[in-house]
Structures are given as structure tokens and as C-alpha cells.
């Protein structure tokens, strides 16, 4: 079918994308590796020298690093848990017959379309602020002390904000998958006397497994790199309580101008992402092939 002519034309057409992405993959990453082996601070130009693995030992023995790894994983797992469980529940609800379904869908999707800096600032100021926030007002209404969310539970608050942004994504994808479930199958199961719970466990959940896997994969990619929400709410603090790996590297590079140290951190982030991706791909490979 494809002649020699079209085949070489095809190659020519793919080339720009492949070359661009290849350059984008290799050039900066090679530079990061190179910088990570140098003692290089922007405040001391001309003082660059080879430092071996010093940057790595420095980074890996920094207590902030372990806090950052913990926080990174906590954000990923916390948000995944809320969005997947909440997303399944919401998708099941939205799949029912109701009045005004279209509008309900639109309202539920909305948070996903909000830019991260807006979402985080709105939550920080208008909801979580211990003096003027709506939560403080609600707390006072029922006779409780207002709670300073971002000072006393910074990580939890950030997880909450990020989960709010991603819940619509999970819901939308799971709902789309749910709607492709054969109605007759459900009816057949019902006629065979399967209750709502067993229909959910044996029919709906297996049908959703592919979509759930996709949700987990895509969200993990983005959640490993949560940044803007931390920057505008807590700035990583108090201390390093809400600093994740992305934020730690950012602070090292653009606040302390330590190019070498930040590059080492960046490489560690890449390795971590690859480990996660490896397990995810294996897990997903199984479901996607089925």
C-alpha cells in the first residue's frame, strides 16, 4: 500500500517532531547531569569547578530532602485516594437519571479548568484564612476556634486544594467509561438477582479498571510535579513542612542560586519519576492489554 515515495515522505514529516522532542529530552537533561557534578553558584561566577558527587551527598543527607520525598509521595497518594474514590462515587451518581444533568456536569467539571494559581489563592484567602475565610466563619458559627489551615496543616491543605482541582478530571473520565457499559448487561445482572453492591463489585468496577488505571497514570505524572499551589500558598513552609521535591529544587536554584545542588536534586527527581513510571507502566500494561 505505502509506496517507497510515500514512505520517505512520511519519514520527512515525522522528522521535525522527533528531532525537536529528542533535543528537548537530551540537551537540557545532559546539561543538568553536567551541572550536577560541578560546584557552581550563580552568585560566584567564574568559580565553577568539578566537584564529583559532592552535590549528591549534600542533597541526599539534607534533612529537607527526606521531608521533600515524603511530602511528594504524600501529595501523590493523598490526592489519588481522594480523587479516585470520590471520582467513582461522583461518576456513579452522575450516571443516574436526573433533572438538569448537563448543568450538573458543567458545574462539576469547572474546577479542572481553573489555573492553579487562581485555585490556590482563592482557597488560601477566601476559605482557609483563619480570620476572614469562610471556614473560619463556619467554625465560629458552630462554636469552634477557627483553624489556621495553612499554618497548622499545610500539607493537608495543599492536598485538599490539589484534590479539588483533579476530582473533576477523575470524575469525567470515569463517567465516560461508565457510559460505555452495556445497559443490557446491567439489566441481566439485575434480573439474575444481583444486588446493587455485587453489581458494582463484579460488573461496574472491572469495567472501570482501565479508566481507573489511566486516571492514576496521568494524575501521577502531574502530581509528582505540583508546584504553583505550593508557591502561592505556603512557599514550602512553615519550615519545609510543605516542600515537595519540585519545590525544593526550585528553591535551591532560583532562591539560593546553587546551580550544582539544584541540578543534583533535579536528577534525583528524574530518577524518582522513572521509578514510579516503571511500576505504573507495568501495572498499566497489564490492564491496558486486557
Partner 1 sequence: MARNVSTQRKLLTTVVAWTIAILIFFPILWTFLTSFKTEAQAIASPPVFLFFDWTTENYFEVQSRSDYFKHFMNSVVVSFGSTLLGLVIAIPSAWAMAFAPTKRTKDVLMWMLSTKMMPPVGVLVPMYLIFRNTGLLDTRTGLVIVLTLINLPIIIWMLYTYFKEIPGEILEAARMDGASLAKEIVYVLTPMAIPGIASTLLLNIILAWNEAFWTLNLSAAKAAPLTAFIASYSSPEGLFYAKLSAASTMAIAPILILGWFSQKQLVRGLTFGAVK
Contact (CB, 8 A) for 267 and 36: yes
Task: Using the minimum distance from each CB to partner 1, give the nearer residue, 126 or 201.
Answer: 126
What's the closest the beta carbon of residue 118 comes to partner 1, in angstroms?
Answer: 5
Q: Give the nearest distance from C-beta 217 to partner 1 in angstroms.
A: 9
Q: How far is the CB of 61 from partner 1 (least distance, A)?
A: 20
- Cα separation values, 121 from 62, 108, 118, Å: 30, 20, 5
Q: Which CB, 111 or 148, lies closer to partner 1? A: 111
CB pairs under 8 A, 24+ apart, for 106-112?
A: 108/168, 108/171, 108/172, 109/168, 109/171, 109/172, 110/168, 111/164, 111/165, 111/167, 111/168, 112/165, 112/166, 112/168, 112/169, 112/172
> Which position has the grid cell 461522583?
90
Residue 53 or 138 having the CB closest to partner 1: 138
Report which DSSP code applies to 258.
B
Q: In the bound complex, what is the minimum distance in angstroms from residue 81's beta carbon to partner 1?
A: 17
Q: In the bound complex, what is the minimum distance in angstroms from residue 207's beta carbon to partner 1?
A: 12
Amino acid at each position: 500500500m505505502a509506496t517507497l515515495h510515500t514512505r520517505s515522505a512520511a519519514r520527512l514529516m515525522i522528522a521535525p517532531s522527533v528531532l525537536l522532542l529528542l533535543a528537548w529530552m537530551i540537551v537540557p537533561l545532559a546539561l543538568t547531569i553536567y551541572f550536577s557534578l560541578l560546584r557552581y553558584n550563580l552568585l560566584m561566577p567564574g568559580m565553577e569547578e568539578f566537584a564529583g558527587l559532592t552535590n549528591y551527598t549534600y542533597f541526599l543527607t539534607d534533612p529537607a530532602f527526606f521531608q521533600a520525598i515524603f511530602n511528594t509521595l504524600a501529595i501523590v497518594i493523598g490526592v489519588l485516594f481522594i480523587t479516585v474514590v470520590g471520582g467513582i462515587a461522583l461518576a456513579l451518581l452522575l450516571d443516574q437519571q436526573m433533572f438538569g444533568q448537563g448543568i450538573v456536569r458543567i458545574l462539576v467539571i469547572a474546577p479542572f479548568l481553573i489555573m492553579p494559581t487562581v485555585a490556590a489563592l482563592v482557597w488560601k484567602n477566601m476559605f482557609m484564612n483563619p480570620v476572614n475565610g469562610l471556614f473560619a466563619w463556619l467554625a465560629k458559627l458552630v462554636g469552634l476556634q477557627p483553624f489556621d489551615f495553612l499554618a497548622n496543616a499545610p500539607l493537608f491543605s495543599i492536598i485538599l486544594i490539589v484534590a479539588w482541582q483533579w476530582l473533576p478530571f477523575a470524575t469525567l473520565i470515569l463517567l465516560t467509561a461508565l457510559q460505555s457499559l452495556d445497559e443490557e448487561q446491567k439489566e441481566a445482572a439485575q434480573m439474575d438477582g444481583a444486588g446493587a453492591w455485587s453489581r458494582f463489585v463484579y460488573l461496574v468496577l472491572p469495567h472501570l479498571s482501565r479508566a481507573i488505571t489511566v486516571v492514576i497514570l496521568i494524575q501521577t505524572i502531574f502530581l509528582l510535579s505540583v508546584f504553583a499551589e505550593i508557591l502561592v500558598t505556603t512557599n514550602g513552609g512553615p519550615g519545609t513542612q510543605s516542600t515537595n521535591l519540585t519545590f525544593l529544587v526550585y528553591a535551591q536554584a532560583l532562591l539560593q542560586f546553587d546551580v550544582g545542588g539544584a541540578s543534583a536534586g533535579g536528577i534525583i527527581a528524574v530518577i524518582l519519576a522513572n521509578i514510579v513510571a516503571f511500576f505504573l507502566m507495568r501495572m498499566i500494561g497489564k490492564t491496558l492489554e486486557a
